[in-house]
Amino acid sequence: MTIRESILAAFQTALTGTTGVQGVYRSRVQALNQAEHPSIIIEPVSDLASHNSIPRVTWDLIVLVTLLVRDDNPDNAADSILADMYSRIMTNSAIDNIAVDRQPIKTDFQFLDGDNTLGVITNQFKVTYQTALNDLTST
């Protein structure tokens, strides 16, 4: 397993059990029905390499953590879930053991009308990690 995949798996493990969340998923490959909200989806966005110290590569992985909430006031309904998510990501020892650093980048809000308003709250995190120059599975 690559270090990148280990980081994404650690995010999923860290977020499992987040207060009020029905499920934590690794991608949006299937539609979620209303009974599955609130839900969290974890996706890689980009992974930028820099070669500061040979024979190692330093990577900056951008991870998108999306919270889906159905409520008449989704940003308010999501507030306590977002606080729990943030704490779980920023204090997780499994991520600490893999990554050199992690930082929040931004949070965006989108609201879609329907039966219940759907709040799509995206949170981006930058995770810095290192690999061997010739092996993505080794540090």
In the chain, domain spans: 3-132
How far apart, in Å, are the Cα atoms of 64 and each of 76, 105, 112, 122, 138? 21, 10, 19, 7, 24
pTM of the model: 0.89
What distance in Å separates the CA atoms of residue 6 and residue 4, rounded to the nearest whole number? 5
Residue range 3-132 forms a domain whose CATH class is alpha beta
Per-residue pLDDT tens listing for the chain (139 residues): 999 999 999 999 999 999 999 889 987 766 577 777 899 999 999 999 998 777 889 999 999 999 999 988 898 999 999 999 999 999 999 999 999 999 999 999 999 887 778 899 999 999 999 998 888 888 7
What distance in Å separates the CA atoms of residue 52 and residue 92, rounded to the nearest whole number? 27
Closest CA to 23 of 14, 36, 35: 36
